[in-house]
Protein backbone atom coordinates (compact mmCIF):
# COMPACT_ATOMS: atom_id res chain seq x y z
CA UNK A 1 0.00 0.00 0.00
CA UNK A 2 1.69 3.17 -1.14
CA UNK A 3 -0.96 5.77 -0.39
CA UNK A 4 -3.25 6.66 2.47
CA UNK A 5 -7.01 6.25 2.16
CA UNK A 6 -8.84 9.48 1.33
CA UNK A 7 -11.08 9.67 4.38
CA UNK A 8 -13.43 12.32 3.02
CA UNK A 9 -14.04 10.26 -0.10
CA UNK A 10 -14.47 7.12 1.99
CA UNK A 11 -17.02 8.77 4.28
CA UNK A 12 -18.93 10.11 1.27
CA UNK A 13 -18.93 6.65 -0.33
CA UNK A 14 -20.18 5.06 2.89
CA UNK A 15 -22.91 7.70 3.19
CA UNK A 16 -23.97 7.08 -0.41
CA UNK A 17 -24.59 3.40 0.32
CA UNK A 18 -27.63 4.54 2.29
CA UNK A 19 -29.23 5.69 -0.97
CA UNK A 20 -28.59 2.54 -3.01
CA UNK A 21 -31.76 0.78 -1.81
CA UNK A 22 -34.17 2.84 -3.94
CA UNK A 23 -36.43 3.61 -0.96
CA UNK A 24 -36.20 7.40 -1.41
CA UNK A 25 -37.16 6.98 -5.07
CA UNK A 26 -40.40 5.27 -3.98
CA UNK A 27 -41.13 8.20 -1.67
CA UNK A 28 -40.50 10.68 -4.50
CA UNK A 29 -42.74 8.60 -6.79
CA UNK A 30 -45.58 8.95 -4.27
CA UNK A 31 -45.09 12.74 -4.18
CA UNK A 32 -45.08 12.98 -7.98
CA UNK A 33 -48.11 10.71 -8.22
CA UNK A 34 -49.82 13.01 -5.75
CA UNK A 35 -49.02 16.05 -7.90
CA UNK A 36 -50.49 14.19 -10.89
CA UNK A 37 -53.67 13.03 -9.19
CA UNK A 38 -54.41 15.76 -6.64
CA UNK A 39 -56.19 18.16 -9.06
CA UNK A 40 -58.44 15.32 -10.21
CA UNK A 41 -59.11 14.10 -6.65
CA UNK A 42 -59.74 17.69 -5.54
CA UNK A 43 -62.36 18.03 -8.28
CA UNK A 44 -64.07 15.06 -6.67
CA UNK A 45 -64.42 16.88 -3.38
CA UNK A 46 -61.30 15.84 -1.45
CA UNK A 47 -59.46 18.72 0.19
CA UNK A 48 -56.06 19.52 -1.34
CA UNK A 49 -54.56 20.17 2.11
CA UNK A 50 -55.65 16.70 3.22
CA UNK A 51 -54.20 15.12 0.07
CA UNK A 52 -50.80 16.81 0.37
CA UNK A 53 -50.58 15.96 4.09
CA UNK A 54 -51.58 12.36 3.42
CA UNK A 55 -48.96 12.02 0.66
CA UNK A 56 -46.20 13.51 2.80
CA UNK A 57 -47.07 11.11 5.63
CA UNK A 58 -47.21 8.20 3.17
CA UNK A 59 -43.79 9.12 1.71
CA UNK A 60 -42.27 9.39 5.21
CA UNK A 61 -43.83 6.04 6.17
CA UNK A 62 -42.37 4.40 3.05
CA UNK A 63 -38.91 5.67 4.01
CA UNK A 64 -39.13 4.55 7.65
CA UNK A 65 -40.66 1.12 6.93
CA UNK A 66 -38.54 0.55 3.82
CA UNK A 67 -35.35 1.19 5.75
CA UNK A 68 -36.53 -1.06 8.59
CA UNK A 69 -37.75 -3.93 6.40
CA UNK A 70 -35.30 -3.90 3.48
CA UNK A 71 -32.19 -1.88 4.27
CA UNK A 72 -31.12 -2.49 7.86
CA UNK A 73 -31.38 -6.32 7.76
CA UNK A 74 -29.23 -6.36 4.61
CA UNK A 75 -26.86 -3.46 4.98
CA UNK A 76 -26.51 -3.22 8.74
CA UNK A 77 -26.57 -0.14 10.93
CA UNK A 78 -24.22 2.81 11.01
CA UNK A 79 -23.98 5.97 13.08
CA UNK A 80 -22.40 8.80 11.15
CA UNK A 81 -20.42 11.56 12.82
CA UNK A 82 -22.11 14.56 14.43
CA UNK A 83 -20.71 16.71 11.62
CA UNK A 84 -22.40 14.57 8.94
CA UNK A 85 -25.68 14.54 10.91
CA UNK A 86 -25.54 18.33 11.20
CA UNK A 87 -24.79 18.75 7.48
CA UNK A 88 -27.66 16.40 6.54
CA UNK A 89 -30.10 18.22 8.83
CA UNK A 90 -29.03 21.61 7.47
CA UNK A 91 -29.45 20.38 3.90
CA UNK A 92 -32.91 19.01 4.69
CA UNK A 93 -34.10 22.14 6.49
CA UNK A 94 -32.49 24.47 3.95
CA UNK A 95 -34.00 22.47 1.09
CA UNK A 96 -37.50 22.54 2.60
CA UNK A 97 -37.25 26.27 3.37
CA UNK A 98 -35.95 27.18 -0.08
CA UNK A 99 -38.58 25.09 -1.82
CA UNK A 100 -41.42 26.53 0.25
CA UNK A 101 -40.18 30.10 -0.34
CA UNK A 102 -39.80 29.43 -4.03
CA UNK A 103 -43.24 27.84 -4.30
CA UNK A 104 -44.80 30.80 -2.49
CA UNK A 105 -43.00 33.23 -4.78
CA UNK A 106 -44.19 31.20 -7.77
CA UNK A 107 -47.83 31.27 -6.65
CA UNK A 108 -47.66 35.03 -5.98
CA UNK A 109 -46.22 35.71 -9.45
CA UNK A 110 -48.65 33.30 -11.10
CA UNK A 111 -51.66 34.94 -9.43
CA UNK A 112 -50.42 38.38 -10.43
CA UNK A 113 -50.09 37.33 -14.03
CA UNK A 114 -53.44 35.55 -14.01
CA UNK A 115 -55.11 38.70 -12.60
CA UNK A 116 -53.67 40.72 -15.47
CA UNK A 117 -55.13 38.20 -17.87
CA UNK A 118 -51.72 37.32 -19.29
CA UNK A 119 -49.80 34.11 -19.61
CA UNK A 120 -46.07 34.41 -19.13
CA UNK A 121 -44.44 31.26 -20.36
CA UNK A 122 -40.95 32.63 -19.84
CA UNK A 123 -41.66 33.19 -16.15
CA UNK A 124 -42.75 29.57 -15.78
CA UNK A 125 -39.52 28.40 -17.38
CA UNK A 126 -37.51 30.72 -15.14
CA UNK A 127 -39.39 29.41 -12.11
CA UNK A 128 -38.69 25.81 -13.19
CA UNK A 129 -35.03 26.58 -13.78
CA UNK A 130 -34.79 28.04 -10.27
CA UNK A 131 -36.22 24.81 -8.85
CA UNK A 132 -33.78 22.76 -10.87
CA UNK A 133 -30.92 24.84 -9.53
CA UNK A 134 -32.04 24.33 -5.91
CA UNK A 135 -32.36 20.58 -6.41
CA UNK A 136 -28.98 20.41 -8.18
CA UNK A 137 -27.27 22.11 -5.24
CA UNK A 138 -29.10 19.86 -2.75
CA UNK A 139 -28.14 16.77 -4.77
CA UNK A 140 -24.50 17.80 -4.77
CA UNK A 141 -24.40 18.65 -1.07
CA UNK A 142 -26.20 15.48 -0.02
CA UNK A 143 -24.32 13.17 -2.44
CA UNK A 144 -27.73 11.93 -3.62
CA UNK A 145 -28.08 12.28 -7.44
CA UNK A 146 -31.78 11.29 -7.45
CA UNK A 147 -32.53 14.70 -5.97
CA UNK A 148 -31.28 16.21 -9.21
CA UNK A 149 -33.43 13.84 -11.25
CA UNK A 150 -36.46 14.74 -9.11
CA UNK A 151 -35.69 18.43 -9.62
CA UNK A 152 -35.29 17.92 -13.36
CA UNK A 153 -38.58 16.03 -13.65
CA UNK A 154 -40.39 18.62 -11.55
CA UNK A 155 -38.84 21.51 -13.48
CA UNK A 156 -39.85 19.89 -16.78
CA UNK A 157 -43.36 18.96 -15.67
CA UNK A 158 -44.37 22.53 -14.79
CA UNK A 159 -43.89 24.11 -18.26
CA UNK A 160 -45.18 20.97 -19.99
CA UNK A 161 -48.30 21.15 -17.85
CA UNK A 162 -48.77 24.81 -18.76
CA UNK A 163 -48.21 24.01 -22.43
CA UNK A 164 -50.85 21.23 -22.32
CA UNK A 165 -53.45 23.32 -20.47
CA UNK A 166 -55.01 25.03 -23.53
CA UNK A 167 -55.36 21.65 -25.27
CA UNK A 168 -56.41 19.38 -22.41
CA UNK A 169 -57.58 21.65 -19.60
CA UNK A 170 -57.51 20.63 -15.94
CA UNK A 171 -56.75 18.09 -14.51
CA UNK A 172 -55.28 16.25 -17.53
CA UNK A 173 -52.65 18.96 -18.14
CA UNK A 174 -50.85 18.07 -14.90
CA UNK A 175 -51.70 14.39 -14.82
CA UNK A 176 -49.64 13.56 -17.91
CA UNK A 177 -46.27 15.20 -17.12
CA UNK A 178 -46.34 14.53 -13.38
CA UNK A 179 -47.67 11.00 -13.95
CA UNK A 180 -44.85 10.25 -16.39
CA UNK A 181 -42.35 11.70 -13.90
CA UNK A 182 -43.78 9.46 -11.17
CA UNK A 183 -43.41 6.42 -13.43
CA UNK A 184 -39.80 7.30 -14.34
CA UNK A 185 -38.77 7.71 -10.71
CA UNK A 186 -40.74 4.61 -9.70
CA UNK A 187 -38.93 2.57 -12.38
CA UNK A 188 -35.61 3.83 -11.03
CA UNK A 189 -36.67 2.89 -7.50
CA UNK A 190 -37.71 -0.62 -8.55
CA UNK A 191 -34.42 -1.14 -10.42
CA UNK A 192 -32.34 0.10 -7.50
CA UNK A 193 -34.29 -1.94 -4.95
CA UNK A 194 -34.04 -5.16 -6.96
CA UNK A 195 -30.29 -4.65 -7.48
CA UNK A 196 -29.92 -3.93 -3.78
CA UNK A 197 -31.87 -7.04 -2.77
CA UNK A 198 -29.86 -9.22 -5.15
CA UNK A 199 -26.47 -7.99 -4.04
CA UNK A 200 -27.23 -7.81 -0.31
CA UNK A 201 -28.89 -10.98 1.03
CA UNK A 202 -30.84 -10.64 4.25
CA UNK A 203 -28.95 -11.69 7.37
CA UNK A 204 -31.46 -13.41 9.62
CA UNK A 205 -29.00 -14.33 12.33
CA UNK A 206 -26.11 -12.59 14.01
CA UNK A 207 -23.26 -12.63 11.50
CA UNK A 208 -20.48 -11.80 13.89
CA UNK A 209 -18.56 -14.27 15.99
CA UNK A 210 -16.24 -11.65 17.45
Partner 1 sequence: MSEQDPVNPIAFNDIDRLIHEPARLVIVACLAVVEGADFLFLMRQTDLTKGNLSSHLSKLEEAGLVDIKKEFVNKIPRTFLSLSGKGRQAFEEYQNKMSAFLKGD
- Residue 169 in the binding site for partner 1 (CB under 8 A): no
User: Do 99 and 107 touch, CB atoms closer than 8 A?
Assistant: no
Q: How far is the CB of 14 from partner 1 (least distance, A)?
A: 6
For partner 1 (CB under 8 A), the number of binding residues is: 29
Q: How far is the CB of 150 from partner 1 (least distance, A)?
A: 26
- Residue 56 in the binding site for partner 1 (CB under 8 A): no
State phi, psi for 171 to the nearest 5 degrees: -95, 5
**Segment lying near partner 1 (by CB under 8 A), choices 6-14, 35-43, 49-57, 162-170:** 6-14
Closest CA to 159 of 202, 119, 210: 119
User: Of 77, 116, 169, 198, which one interacts with partner 1 (CB under 8 A)?
Assistant: 77
- Residue 201 in the binding site for partner 1 (CB under 8 A): no
- Residue 198 in the binding site for partner 1 (CB under 8 A): no
Which H helix or E strand runs over 164? helix 146-168
Q: How far is the CB of 84 from partner 1 (least distance, A)?
A: 8
- Separation of alpha carbons 153 and 180, rounded Å: 9
- Separation of alpha carbons 182 and 76, rounded Å: 29
- Separation of alpha carbons 15 and 144, rounded Å: 9
**Segment lying near partner 1 (by CB under 8 A), choices 51-59, 149-157, 166-174, 197-205:** 197-205
Q: How far is the CB of 76 from partner 1 (least distance, A)?
A: 3
- Separation of alpha carbons 89 and 85, rounded Å: 6
3-state secondary structure 128-143: HHHHHHHHHHHHHHHC
Q: How far is the CB of 172 from partner 1 (least distance, A)?
A: 45
Identify residues 78-107 at the interface with partner 1 (CB under 8 A): 78-82
Residues near partner 1 (CB under 8 A) are: 1-5, 7, 10-11, 14, 17, 72, 74-82, 200, 203-210
Amino acid sequence: MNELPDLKKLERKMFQTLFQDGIYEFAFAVLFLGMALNPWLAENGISKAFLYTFELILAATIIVLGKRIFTVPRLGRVKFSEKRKKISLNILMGGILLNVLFLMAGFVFQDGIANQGNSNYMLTILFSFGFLLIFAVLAYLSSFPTLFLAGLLFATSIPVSEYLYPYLGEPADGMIPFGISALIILALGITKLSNFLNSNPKEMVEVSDV
